[in-house]
Structure formats: C-alpha cells, structure tokens
Amino acid sequence: MSDQPEITNREIITYVDDIRPIIEAAADALWDFAEVRYEEVRSAAYLKEILEEGGYTITHDTVAGIPTAFVAEIGEGGPVIGILAEYDALPGLGNAPVPRKEPRADGVTSGHGCGHNLIGSAAVGAALAVGRAVQAGKLSGTVRLYGTPAEEGGQGKVYMARDGVFDDAEIILHWHPADRAGVMNERTAANANLDVAFFGVTAHAGGQPWQGRSALHAVELFCHGVNLMREQMEPTGRVQYVIRAGGEETNIIPDYASVQIAYRDADLERVNRHIEWIKQIAEGAALATQTRAQVTFLGAIHDLMPNGPLAERMQAVVEQVGAPLFDEAEQAFARQVQAEMDLPDAGLEMAVRPLVQERAEGYSTDVGDVSKIAPTMGLNMPTVPAGVSMHTWGATACHGVSIGRKGAVQAAKGLALMAAELLTEAELRAAAKADFDARMGGKAYVSPIPPEIEAPPMMKVEKIED
C-alpha cells in the first residue's frame, strides 16, 4: 500500500470551503435546538442525516444504551482516524444572538455557552471533507465520526469508551471553541462526582426534638469532615460541594438532606483514593448523628493525556490554516460583548498562539477517557472575544452569530488537514503510538465507572446538578 499522499492540502481546504454552507447551517441549527445532556435528539438526528448524505454509514445508532450517541464511518480498512463531535447545550445559558445579556425571543432558556454546536458542526464538516477524498480514491483508510453527547456533566464519552467503540481507532482528533487559535496541548483534571444523601427521623423541633434524628446535622458533619480532609490533600487536589437539600422549615427536624460533591486531581488514582475517604466521612457523619448515609455515583472521568508528536504536527496544521479573519462588524460585536462583561476591549484574536508545553488545566473533559485509549489531540479556534470565558451568556451569543460560524469552518479545515495527514503518514501514526505507549507505561485503560452502573445516572436522575 502506498504511503504517499495523493491529495494536496490545498485540495482538502477546497473541500472544506465547498462544505462551508453545510457547516454553517448545522452550527445554526444546533444553536437553535440548544438541547442539554442526554436530550440531544434533534441535534444527533441532524448530524446523522448530513453524514449519510455525504456518503457515511451509521454503524452505531445508539452507543452504551445512549440513544443520542452514534458512530458514522466512511472508507474501509486501516488506518482508522476518529473525529469527536459534541452537541450538548447548557441549562440556563440561553441568550439571544446579540452582544448583550438578553433572553431568547422563543423562550428557550438553555444555550450553547460552550460552543458544542460549533464542535459538532465542524467535526462533521471535517469528516465530510476527508470523506470526499476517500470516496474520490485520493485517500485510503477509514474516517470515523463519533457522535458524543452529554459532555457537560454527563460524561457521555466515558460510557461510550466502556462500550469499546474507541478501541480500534488509531488516532482521535477533537477541537474546542476558545478565545484563541492554537493546540490543546494540555492536561486536564480527572474527577469524580458523588451524591451523598442522609436519612434521619422527622419530629417537631419545639415539641419532641429528642424523637428526631437530623439529616442536616449529618450534612454539616460531613462537610466539616471534608474540609478537614482538605489539609491532607496534595496541591493538585480540589474538592467542591453544594448542599442540595437541607430541610424545609425550622420547626421540623429534617429527615432528609443531601450534598453533591466533586473531587478533582491530576489523575484518577488520586481521585479514587480521596473518593474512598469521602465515603468514609459520610459513614462517620451518619454514625455520629444516628442517621443513614446513601452515596450515589454520578460520574467520573480520566485526565486528558497529551501526545508530543501529534501536538507538534497539529501546531503546524493550525499555523497553516490560520485563525479566522474577522471583519469590522464582528470586531465591533466582540468589543460590545467585552464592554458588557467588563473586559478589556481587545476584540477577537486573529493570530495563532505558539505551542505551549502541556500546561495543567483545572477543568475536566470526557475527552480524557478517549485519550487513554488512543493517541488524541485537539485544536482551538477563536469563537469568542479575547478574555470571554466559556459557560457565559457572551459565549452563547457569539456561538450563534458569524463569529462562531467562522471559528467552526476554520476548525473543520484544521481537523480535515490533520486527518488527511494521519491517513497518509504511517510514520506520524507510529510516532504518536510510541509516545502514547510510553505515557501509559504498559497500563491499559480502566473505566472509572463502577461495573454495577449500567447507564449514565444523569439519564435518569432529573436535573441533579442543574
């Protein structure tokens, strides 16, 4: 089999330019749908339809029991290059496509404050472009598009990973909207989430308090225990909790109280060690207050593992593609958003950032699990003004206008170029694999989901962390 590229980078870019209207229409459609985790029915259907129109076969219409997860494929044989598509929105972040905080006219309160409408449309656009080259016989191998729902607090990819759909992918690519163009050469935190509920006995707080057993006291003791644990945590550890139920009235001893708690650290081993400790704190709090503790697993994810050769090549690709060229109207929109958010009026960044060396980030992503199964690398494109963070109304607004669409098209170019180079260059794939193997140190991927958990709890537990 020839290992020589039979297609030029110019041709790949031209394919993406041809597909631009499809990418832009998808970005807008998904932005309108604004479907939150595990409810992305219309978004998934939309993307599947345009993939099928582009010659893709839907090989999995449901993955891991999740109806909004899917896998689509084009071509045959190796190598298998995967591209991740996300499409879930965030609750409460709906905003009109205007440079100020303003509810949507149609009353939809959820919104694409993390730009997953752009992730999905650009990933599919890249897959369609490379798919055209495969269909034209200019590239050989398989391109696989993973439809991955519920990135936001739902850990969709972790369930898909446990189901094995990433196992035979040689390399996996992804991207994320940002305020800059560059390579996602970073480590993110591993984390685990628990719901800790306490059950006591209700009683009249004034009349017969001795007959009651306060579940709220258990929560207070639990939180105190967690805060004492903090002193013994390594500097990489983070723990946050919110009290979700703490009683109703002061004259009723609460028989039910609950806390949701998240523990993050540099890797899952450290997370799990502290999760065990947290469970013991819950048992201790229950014992001390004569209540009963019930700990429910809500999800866990691995840290994101970078890859040296892929990061370097991705940098070259992003530099070749460049950041989007934003026009004056878009810069004016951006500056107005910055003014509304009390940020410096720097506008939109149009330069590609130099490659950074594997910075450690405090946030988590379910791409982490994918990165422990196959060499994985991502890119960033600007879709928000400089300094505007994701998960804000400003991000939602920008992701529904031409600023976001331009970022998506540029991301599609980067992903398509990178995928084409990976399909043709066996040496690059081998270098990525060697780097991956060295980092894994002979260990295989272990799912962070306890075996007894069959489906994502988020699919069943209504708005547990809304």
Binding mask 421-440 for Zn ion (x = CB under 5 A): --------------------
Q: What is the Cα–Cα distance from 8 to 48, expressed in whole angstroms?
A: 28
Total chain residues near Zn ion (CB under 5 A): 1
**216 lies in the binding site for Zn ion (CB under 5 A):** no
Helix (H/G/I), strand (E/B), else coil: 254: coil
The total number of residues shown for the chain amounts to: 466
Residue 114 or 384: which CB sits closer to Zn ion? 114
Q: Which long-range contacts (CB under 8 A, 24 or more apart) does 76-80 make?
A: 76/142, 77/140, 77/141, 77/142, 78/141, 78/142, 78/170, 79/141, 79/142, 79/170, 79/171, 79/422, 79/423, 79/426, 79/429, 80/141, 80/142, 80/144, 80/168, 80/169, 80/170
CB 119, min distance to Zn ion, A: 7
Evaluate whether 66 touches 459 at the Cβ level (below 8 Å). Answer: yes
Residue 114 or 458: which CB sits closer to Zn ion? 114
Stretch that binds Zn ion, among 109-117, 184-192, 251-259, 278-286 (CB under 5 A): 109-117
Q: Burial code of 20-35, b = ≥16 C-beta within 10 A, e = fewer?
A: bebbbebbbbbbbbbb
Angular region, 45: left φ>0, alpha ψ -120 to 50, beta rest: alpha
Residue 150 or 293: which CB sits closer to Zn ion? 150
CB 118, min distance to Zn ion, A: 10
Residue 188 or 315: which CB sits closer to Zn ion? 188
CB 151, min distance to Zn ion, A: 6
Angle between the N-to-C axes of helices 426-440 and 402-424, in degrees from 0 to 180, rounded to the nearest 10: 100
Q: Give CA angle at 316 (312, 322), nearest 5°.
A: 135
Evaluate whether 230 touches 222 at the Cβ level (below 8 Å). Answer: no
Q: Burial code of 79-90, b = ≥16 C-beta within 10 A, e = fewer?
A: bbbbbbbbbbbb
CB 399, min distance to Zn ion, A: 11
Residue 114 or 301: which CB sits closer to Zn ion? 114
171-178 and 376-382 strand pairing: parallel
CB 440, min distance to Zn ion, A: 25
Residue 27 or 114: which CB sits closer to Zn ion? 114
Stretch that binds Zn ion, among 1-9, 106-114, 236-244, 269-277 (CB under 5 A): 106-114
Residue 378 or 448: which CB sits closer to Zn ion? 378
CB 365, min distance to Zn ion, A: 7
Site residues for Zn ion, 111-140, by CB under 5 A, read: 114
CB 266, min distance to Zn ion, A: 20
Evaluate whether 127 touches 420 at the Cβ level (below 8 Å). Answer: no
- Express the helix, strand and coil content of the chain in percent, nearest 5 each: 40, 20, 40
CB 85, min distance to Zn ion, A: 12
CB 176, min distance to Zn ion, A: 6
- The structure tokens listed for 31 are 């932005």
Q: Residue type for 160, please?
A: M
Residue 151 or 170: which CB sits closer to Zn ion? 151
Evaluate whether 300 touches 190 at the Cβ level (below 8 Å). Answer: yes
CB 114, min distance to Zn ion, A: 3
**184 lies in the binding site for Zn ion (CB under 5 A):** no
Q: What is the Cα–Cα distance from 254 to 246, expressed in whole angstroms?
A: 7
CB 453, min distance to Zn ion, A: 23
Binding mask 61-80 for Zn ion (x = CB under 5 A): --------------------
Q: Residue type for 259, please?
A: V
Residue 154 or 212: which CB sits closer to Zn ion? 154
**301 lies in the binding site for Zn ion (CB under 5 A):** no
Residue nearest to Zn ion (CB): 114
Residue 114 or 379: which CB sits closer to Zn ion? 114
Residue 112 or 429: which CB sits closer to Zn ion? 112
- The structure tokens listed for 230 are 């903090």
Instruction: Give me the residues that bind Zn ion (CB under 5 A), please.
Output: 114
